[in-house]
Structure 1
Amino acid sequence: MVLFAWKNKENEQKKEMQVGKYELGRTLGEGNFGKVKFAKNLDSGHSFAVKILDKSRIVDHRIIDQIKREIGTLKLLRHPNVVRLHEVIASKTKIYMVLEYVDGGELFERIALNGKLTEAAGRKMFQQLIDAVTYCHKKGVFHRDLKLENVLVDADGNIRISDFGLSALPQHFRDDGLLHTTCGSPNYVAPEVVRNKGYDGATSDMWSCGVILYVILTGYLPFDDRNLAVVYQKIFKGNVNFPKGLSTGAKNLIRRILDPNPRTRITIAEIKEDQWFKRRYTPVNPVEDKEDICIVDASMTIHESPLAGKDPDFSTFINAFELIGMSSSLDLSGFFEKEDVSERRMRFTSRHSPKELIERIEDIVTRMGFVVRKRSGKLKVVELHKDDSSPVNLSVAAEVFDISPSLYLVEVRKTCGDATLYRQLCEKLSHDLGVPRSQELLDAEFQV
């Protein structure tokens, strides 16, 4: 299958690119590392936003971890007020993140064009923002770059939080229980982040929410100046000036959120008990669906193995990023699962058919003295007999995936047992059945 195709439309001079099953259209936004384009699913007709990232720029600017973080974080989140990641597609030079399309654009643009919102409209948006941030924090995700530009609004006035590239997860906390990376946008950043002595991700996110609320209700930033040092001085003091007409309830809540002392700053739980906030508030209770994000190269859908029989669970997808990791310096295999630090898993590519691979693997391991069991198209090595003595414990599973009609991926996983025997087995299988490494790189680069 060809990943990219150019389609000519009648009466149109411009060409629109197709990526997998998505036809890309107009540009919705543009950043330092790529663009966001409107896209339509050619199968369903549904609209999406596709974030296109240039792999070379990611490497050159050393933001691999940031991209990993954004995709890995969005994979965790399922909330009506958080933009949803539906699919990730990879090519040799690009990464395509297929995201929920939010037709109203950025909240920043809405405020810039139309000015401040009424308290009723602003409160509704702020309630949704707090619901979404609460959900993220419960999932262990701290955004760290909440601002109007990262809040999208749909046609009905409902919000979606976007851009989790600077987000933090529990593993990013140091031994003191705090985060230490100074990040975020100057006008929205909490004072404790600027001081660079460690900060709580939840508390600093609350400060940013307070700035957003202030802008929504006034039309301008609470802390602003051409001189960045002056901006930070204002943030440290936390003195906020309010325009006439803003209700006492709104002003009191903003003051409590924009408290420069993180220890006395209002918490999410206290915000939800605030009288101004609670007015016409209906909490969102997201239903955690079981939809998996499709993370594949459009040309690498895995077809049902002839060995699978009628097992409906055997069909699967291969993670395109793992294949890219085999063939380039940009190792993205850690995007979607933990690194295999224990050497429990080994992969190699082969030109042998799945049926032939299974047969030859069974033959090889049997000759090495292993006992093999078959189940649902998979092989499981359960034990090794040595000199008819007591069996040596080793449990290994082998599985074959289609990459293309002539290239296959074999994955061998150790469940438990002797590490030395496992490595010997892997070396034997890879040597006898695998594609030579130099050829594997060429094959992988051609396929991706």
Structure 2
Amino acid sequence: MVRKEEEKQKKEKGMQLGKYELGRTLGEGNFGKVKLAKNIETGQPFAVKILEKNRIIDLKITDQIKREIATLKLLKHPNVVRLHEVLASKSKIYMVLEYVTGGELFDRIASKGKLPEAEGRKMFQQLIDGVSYCHSKGVFHRDLKLENVLVDAKGNIKISDFGLSALPQHFRDDGLLHTTCGSPNYVAPEILSNRGYDGATSDIWSCGVILYVILTGYLPFDDRNLAVLYQKIFKGDAQVPKWLSPGAKNMIKRILDPNPVTRITTADIKTDEWFKLDYTPMDSAEEQDDVYIDDAAFSIQEADVSERKIRFTSNHSMSDLLEKIEDIVTEMGFRVQKRNGKFQVIQEHRGKKSSGSLSVATEVFEISPSLYVVELRKSYGDSSAYRQLCTKLSNDLGVPSSPGLLATEV
């Protein structure tokens, strides 16, 4: 088995993709691999993101991948990872991206700890430059975190991974976004409240979390218990170390303002005296060529695969929620098992797991005295029945001003 894998890797390493020769694997994920590649004509290195079409179908992320490609095609800035072209075979999609040699900012902080303030400010200036440029193009990242900020050989940052980004067409009639996404430690409080949010102000919050980690070496909001973490974010009460300079402390406090209306904007950040120290704005690279995208890239068939974990927010009290959830699922023909304050919602045919069976774990978290998160997690079973159950519960019990599913995770 080991020998077969080694032979497969050797074969892939010498593989040629158009004018590119694929090299070693840089990383792996659910979607496939990222490989180092070299332009045979120029010798220039690139990173090739190889997406397995079958995995895209299984994970139901076709729209997410399309969105990432459409987003990157729009963006040409020194602090944003550049997409050069998209190629395709019958079974794979190949995204040819700028190769960033220094790796993730997360790894740098994890190995070396916090950065000196001057160095941290320089990275923050570049982050704000890249983010404000994206916003000027109508693109909102929605998953800004240390892992999605890369560092090149010269110490300059590059924003990457636009899989959760939003474009103008994703806004509702009220001009707000309504899909909760992003990583829990970096997510803005208004996203948790499920009343719609401004993509620009929520991105700025995430930039504030990144700045905090760069300058301190640890997260402003952290807890293993998801409910406690949500409460901390919702209050926005970050403990800013006294040893930071007054300018840095003021910047962090103005960004990590739980009220999105009074939170500092990118325009105001750029006029701040602390921010402007040794600041050299980066110009966009609009003169670069258009991105080539192979028409065969998305010649794939969608499969009916539903998400495994879904959350929605509710204003009902804890006791009301538990009672109403039990009533609704019972009416729908499910039986309920209670254990340690959690529900297991089960539907089985003749007491056995079968094609029409379904098992869903249900848990309720308190964020504030008037706001709760209901989490539904499928253990096994029929996807359509699961989706029907989730839709019914979220529509009946979700926040009235914005009913519907709040967050999905595969």
Q: TM-score scaled by structure 1? A: 0.64
Partners in 2 of 1:228 and 1:14 — Cα distance?
41
* 3-state DSSP of counterpart to 2:184: coil
Q: Structure 2 vs 1, CA of residues 201 and 68 (structure 1 numbering), >3 Å: closer, same or farther?
A: same
User: Aligned-pair distance for 1:195?
Assistant: 1.2
Q: CA contact under 8 A between 2:85 and 2:95: conserved in structure 1?
A: yes
Q: Structure 2 vs 1, CA of residues 206 and 14 (structure 1 numbering), >3 Å: closer, same or farther?
A: closer
Q: 1:31 maps to what in 2?
A: 29
* Per-residue Cα deviation, 1:218-269 (whole angstroms, up to 9, x for no partner): 0110000111111111111111113342111101110000000101101111
* 3-state DSSP of counterpart to 2:271: coil
Whichever of the two has the greater Rg, that structure is 1
Question: 1:115 is aligned with what amino acid?
Answer: G
* 3-state DSSP of counterpart to 2:249: helix
Q: 1:203 maps to what in 2?
A: 201
Question: 1:60 is aligned with what amino acid?
Answer: D
Does 2:105 match 1:107? Answer: yes
User: Aligned-pair distance for 1:133?
Assistant: 0.6
Does 2:224 match 1:252? Answer: no
**Bigger relative CO (Cα 8 Å, ≥ 6 apart):** 2
Does 2:305 match 1:329? Answer: no
Partners in 2 of 1:100 and 1:37 — Cα distance?
12
Partners in 1 of 2:34 and 2:255 — Cα distance?
33
Q: Would you say how many aligned residue pairs link Structure 1 and Structure 2?
A: 295
* Per-residue Cα deviation, 1:177-232 (whole angstroms, up to 9, x for no partner): 10000000000000011111100000000000000000000011000011111111
User: Aligned-pair distance for 1:44?
Assistant: 1.0
Partners in 1 of 2:12 and 2:37 — Cα distance?
15
Q: 1:438 maps to what in 2?
A: none
Does 2:292 match 1:320? Answer: no
Counterpart of 2:55 (choices 36, 51, 57) is 57
Partners in 2 of 1:45 and 1:164 — Cα distance?
27
* 3-state DSSP of counterpart to 1:187: helix
Q: 1:241 maps to what in 2?
A: 239
* Per-residue Cα deviation, 1:110-136 (whole angstroms, up to 9, x for no partner): 000111101100000000000111110
Q: How does 1:204-243 map to 2 (within 5 A)?
A: 204-243=202-241
* 3-state DSSP of counterpart to 1:272: helix
User: Aligned-pair distance for 1:51?
Assistant: 0.5
Q: Which runs of 5+ in 2 are unaligned?
A: 1-6, 304-410
Q: CA contact under 8 A between 2:78 and 2:285: conserved in structure 1?
A: no
Counterpart of 2:119 (choices 106, 118, 121) is 121
Partners in 1 of 2:204 and 2:13 — Cα distance?
44
Counterpart of 1:161 (choices 159, 162, 171) is 159
Q: CA contact under 8 A between 2:76 and 2:288: conserved in structure 1?
A: no
Q: CA contact under 8 A between 2:13 and 2:22: conserved in structure 1?
A: no
Question: 1:169 is aligned with what amino acid?
Answer: L
User: Aligned-pair distance for 1:139?
Assistant: 0.2
Question: 2:156 is aligned with what amino acid?
Answer: N
Partners in 1 of 2:57 and 2:241 — Cα distance?
46
Q: 2:366 maps to what in 1?
A: none
Q: Structure 2 vs 1, CA of residues 290 and 152 (structure 1 numbering), >3 Å: closer, same or farther?
A: closer
Question: 1:46 is aligned with what amino acid?
Answer: Q
Partners in 2 of 1:150 and 1:203 — Cα distance?
18
Q: How does 1:253-292 map to 2 (within 5 A)?
A: 253-292=251-290
* 3-state DSSP of counterpart to 1:48: strand
* 3-state DSSP of counterpart to 1:246: coil
Identity %: 76
Q: Structure 2 vs 1, CA of residues 76 and 271 (structure 1 numbering), >3 Å: closer, same or farther?
A: same
Partners in 2 of 1:84 and 1:74 — Cα distance?
7
Q: TM-score scaled by structure 2? A: 0.70
